[in-house]
Structure 1
């Protein structure tokens, strides 16, 4: 497997698949998060990512431990309005894209450079354009 390069400093943002894989101890995602931290990058998630990623079989103890080591970004009125605007700009709408838009909005507000670990490469690319680096997980 080719090694994926991360920047020095900046921000690593995980979407629900990134968080799920981190909770399930996925080797690639664990390595990317460790590399990001070693480079001084802050690791963040949207609060909505927790809702999307958690299910009955989630290891709650591991999830809680992971959440102590990441910054969880709140989603309030202003963030929701900006996420809605991103949806309109991308020509998307509806519940299928709502959490992705909130994640994209959060990514666009972080310290640059921003790397987003996501399984929704197409949607994140539409929502963020070239303003963040998208890494498929």
Structure 2
């Protein structure tokens, strides 16, 4: 059965799921009820994990998500997003990977992010951006 779209978490979205944030958990449950695929880039796992994170909770949360690798296709798509937006990968690389991941997922794609302005510059109106 085809999924009803994709919910993409950036590192803050992932961190808020790990922290059991009420707003983000409500959005996540809604996505699951709508049979949306919930994904996170492997880069966001690296970005969100630190020594103060409850590792057992982090690992449990991640086990319930689809972790997307940074494939060559995603990398090249991210490069194009950066070029088209006139942004530099040194500062915006991970945001570009999140955007490229969202754009390559089943539609509609929704991104939960702490950087709505950056994702807006990169993706425009091709994905729905929700600030968390």
Same-fold call, TM cutoff 0.5:
yes
**Bin for the TM-score computed over the shorter chain:** over 0.9
Q: Give SS of 1:44's match.
A: strand
Q: Provide the secondary structure at the position in 2 that maps to 1:130.
A: helix
Structure with more of its chain in helix, by fraction? 2
Distance 2:20 2:102 in 1: 23
Number of equivalent positions: 130
TM-score (norm 1): 0.91
Counterpart for residue 29 of structure 2: 34
TM-score, normalised to structure 2's length?
0.94
Match of 1:52 among 25, 47, 51: 47
| Runs of at least 5 residues in structure 1 that lack an aligned partner in the other structure | 1-7
Secondary structure of the residue aligned to 1:92 is: coil
Secondary structure at the counterpart of residue 56 of structure 1 = coil
Q: Runs (4+) of structure 1 moved beyond 6 Å?
A: none
- Listed as ranges, the gaps of 5+ residues in structure 2 are none
Alpha-carbon distance between aligned partners in 1 of 2:117 and 2:36, rounded to the nearest angstrom: 24
Q: Which residue of 1 aligns with 2:17?
A: 22
